[in-house]
Structure 1
Amino acid sequence: MPKAIHSIWWDDNLGPSVGRSYPETDPLTSEEALIIFMGHGVNREAEVGYSKLPRGLTISYMKPPNCIAVLLDDGENTTTIERNLLRLVKYIDFNSDRWDNELQRAFELLHELIDETSGAELLTNPEVKKLVEDMSDKRVPAITPRHVLRASVRYPKAQDYFGNDDDEIVRILKDLEDEGILESRTYGRRVECRQCGESDLSIELHCPHCDSNDLHKVYTLFCPKCSDQFHAILVDDIAEITCLSCKQPVKVKELAIIDVEPLCNKCGTASNDPKIVFRCASCGKHLRSPDLLAGTGLAYYPKW
């Protein structure tokens, strides 16, 4: 269990300031507070930070200008503490005028949350119990994700059990994995159109200069008769081509292709780095980064 909880805050003029601690026996120093803030990035942009202090590892939550840091005991499961710290912060009144009591209450509530989301206590949650039973009976074979944005996933089936708080659903699934009830596996290698849900793609090459898709391929060819290289456009249904160096006809099957470069018929730009456009083959939507870079998610399966 966590050993202590600390409150600190950041002042743009004064830097880090040390607030209260609970228990009060070993408060933070200003130097330690600075290390904790550095764990949130140079501009304090990260919501959750990890810091190694001489007294031990801390996990902290940043809600500018306030920061709550939890000191871990040796051997603690850091992911469990992080998940429950994120659960805890919505219960903290950062504007409280009785901060001593607020911090003590937060420390005690954090311990309660850890107890409730681990071990046998986790299975006393009726929603968790129902999900485990349905997965055990194969009514729900797996909890699979759907990517909503680049860094956001949603588990539609799990919403039937746990409501619409996507972040809390992810935390519950990870709780169940920590307890050996579920097992996570990679999922979602296919690109999925966020408009219609289909995965069939069409790929277009566009000119990087004018964005036209009216392109031809310009080939760099090796002539077997004169051993020279020349450029040519190979259209369909031809059997031979004339070498631009030796002027002799060469059968296309004898040509060695050295390089290929798209040529724009609209603006005349030749480029070996054309713009690649992905479209949904079903609805025609232009698939952009959130569609293509959502990444592989995790699906959860019963571990039995």
Structure 2
Amino acid sequence: MTKGKDTVPKAIFSIWWDDKLGPMVGRSYPETMILSSEEAVTVFMGHGSNMEISVGYSKIASGVVVSYMRPPNCIAILLDNEENGAIIERNLLRLAPTIDFDSDAWGKELEKAFHGLTDLINETTGEELLLNPGVKQLVGDMMNGRVATVFPKHVLKATVRYPNAHEYLGNDDEEVARLLKDLEDEEILESRTYGRKVECRQCGDSDITIELLCPSCSSNDIHKVYTVFCPKCSNQFQAVLVDDLAEVTCMTCKQPVKVSELSIIDVEPLCNKCGTASNDPKIVFKCATCGKQLKGADLLSGTGLAYYFRYAHD
């Protein structure tokens, strides 16, 4: 169990984007490692045309770069071509919240980040991975058959979830997914396909937004007309419930009714542009990260992964 131990970052760079001057190269650690302006452009290109992708991959002459973007700042990790970039990515995401992007001492901040990344790689690979009590218990229960498979649960917002791993690895869905990948890289678990998930084919993310459009004019200027039950006179009436509304007036008894006391019977979207009322609006899915409107292929393009104990069949 030493596969991840071979992954060692060569250098870390700080770069940022200036709207007038383009990419600006800041500090590096070790300081002897140099990133050129042309290479900085290549790194930024790995984050999409609008810097919408948080983790980017790029290839430069001295190796592979895995980078984390928090616009306009970017932290870039250089590693050899043959090393496991996925291990760097997972641990860079673990490291990112600890980096002070507003630091006045970037030299020290980068040195701290470099050693912090190395420590995280050591903690999540090799024998040290099994020193994590939750990981150790999960692996033990899978070895003994108490947990046969760690199945995913796909949700439209946020990320893939593994509910039956939460009691072992905590409730941070992204960290749970990273730990399962750590265990796969160490050949303790193996992943197999499990269902389909939403995945944007432009940026690869699974976060989506849902937008309702008028079926007649495709406007998104839509109010929702609710048919509600009045608790004071027991009659039904229609009302438009907008945000930050505390009460409405019943159209029958003319008394004010708290929104929290209303029973909603039906909802019908009403277009403010053309006046069309329809309970069958167009539903548009968009990637919350890059804004691309998702098509059918995007909604089924991702492959879900379930995790099994690697030697359960032996």
TM-score w.r.t. structure 2 length? 0.63
Structure 1 residue aligned with 2:168:
161
Structure 2: gaps spanning 5 or more residues: 1-7, 199-214, 217-282, 284-294
> What's the secondary structure of 2:150's corresponding residue?
coil
Deviations 1:213-235 (A, max 9, x none): xxxxxxxxxxxxxxxxxxxxxxx
Question: SS of the residue aligned with 2:14?
Answer: strand
Find the aligned partners of 2:109 and 2:75 in 1 and give their Cα distance: 12
Shift in Å, 1:45: 1.2
Equivalent residue number for residue 182 of structure 2: 175
* Greater than 4 Å deviation, 4+ residue runs: none
Q: Equivalents in 1 of 2:39, 2:85: separation in Å?
A: 19
Partner of 1:137: 144
Over 3 Å counting, the alpha-carbon distance change for 1:130 and 1:32 in structure 2 is same
Residues 119 and 18 of structure 1: CA distance in aligned 2, closer, same or farther (over 3 Å)? same
Say whether 1:49 aligns with 2:56.
yes
Between the aligned partners of 1:26 and 1:151, the Cα distance in structure 2 is: 37
The AA in structure 2 aligned to 1:299 is A
Correspondence for 2:115: 108
SS of residue matched to 1:68: strand
- Please tell me whether the aligned partners of residues 196 and 300 of structure 2 are also in contact (alpha carbons under 8 angstroms): no
Percent identity between the two aligned chains: 64
Counterpart of 1:221? Answer: none
Structure 1: any 5+ residue segments left out of the alignment?
192-207, 210-276, 278-287
Structure possessing the higher radius of gyration over alpha carbons: 1
Does the Cα contact within 8 Å between 1:151 and 1:294 map onto a contact in 2? no
1:77 counterpart (84, 90, 108): 84
Secondary structure at the aligned position of 1:188 is classed as strand
* 1:180–1:303 contact (8 Å) kept in structure 2: yes
Distance 1:65 1:184, change over 3 A: same
**How many residue pairs are counted as aligned between the two chains?**
212
Instruction: Give 1:296 deviation, angstroms.
Output: 3.5
Partner Cα separation in structure 2 for residue 145 and residue 296 of structure 1: 11
Could you tell me how far 1:189 is from its partner in structure 2? 5.3
Offset at residue 96 of structure 1 (A): 1.2
Checking the alignment, whether the CA contact within 8 Å between 2:197 and 2:300 is kept in structure 1 is no
Counterpart in the other structure of 2:37? 30
TM-superposed CA distance for 1:19, in Å, is 0.6
How far, CA to CA, are the matches of 2:10 and 2:196 in structure 1?
A: 41
Which of residues 45, 51, 62 is equivalent to 2:69?
62
Measure, in 1, the Cα distance between the counterparts of 2:95 and 2:53. 17
The offset of 1:303, in angstroms, is: 0.5
- RMSD across aligned C-alpha pairs, in angstroms? 2.6
Q: Which amino acid aligns with 1:58?
A: V
1:163 Cα deviation from its structure 2 partner:
1.4
Q: Please, what TM-score do these two structures have when normalized by structure 1?
A: 0.65
User: Within 1, Cα distance between the matches of 2:196 and 2:25?
Assistant: 46
Can you list the C-alpha shifts for 1:32-82, whole angstroms capped at 9, x where unaligned? 111111111111111111111111111101000100000002421111111
Counterpart in 1 of 2:99? 92
Provide Cα deviations, 1:118-151, integer angstroms capped at 9, x if missing partner: 1111111111000001111111111000011177
> Is 1:12 matched with 2:19?
yes
